[in-house]
Amino acid sequence: MIKIDFDNINDDLVYKAFSVEGNESDALNDSYLELFELIGKDAMIKLFKHFRGDKIDCPMRLYRPEFIADLARTIADRRERAKIARAGGYSAKVIEAILNKRRKEVESE
């Protein structure tokens, strides 16, 4: 018999009451099983609580191009700026375009 205190229910208690521990592959939806395998139970439940019902879009790049451009701005050597751009997941052309746009904006002010 499953005993759940419905007055103090939370996802951690339900996880225990349903005996999910060790049976995740049978119990969890595929997306949550993949998250469980990647980041563990606690982080998976935290994501579930925060984002459930939402579609999560994970961009291909972790960093904003403007942030990478700010890092590269102080570097004079274009090859070194290109290395920074590549490390951030961008092409040197994209970062140079941002820097050029900013220079033109400053010049026009």
Task: Yes or no: say if 90 and 66 are a contact pair by the CB < 8 Å rule.
Answer: no
Domain count, the chain: 2
| pLDDT at residue 103 is higher than 80 | yes
- 42 and 75, same structural domain? no
Chain segment 39-52, per-residue pLDDT in tens: 999 999 999 989 99
Give the domain range for residue 99.
65-108
Write the single-letter amino acid at 99.
L
58 is a domain residue: no
2 is a domain residue: no
20 is a domain residue: yes
104 is a domain residue: yes
| pLDDT at residue 6 is higher than 80 | no
DSSP for 68-108 reads: HHHHHHT---HHHHHHHHHHTT--HHHHHHHHHHHHHHHHH
Q: What is the pTM of this model?
A: 0.69
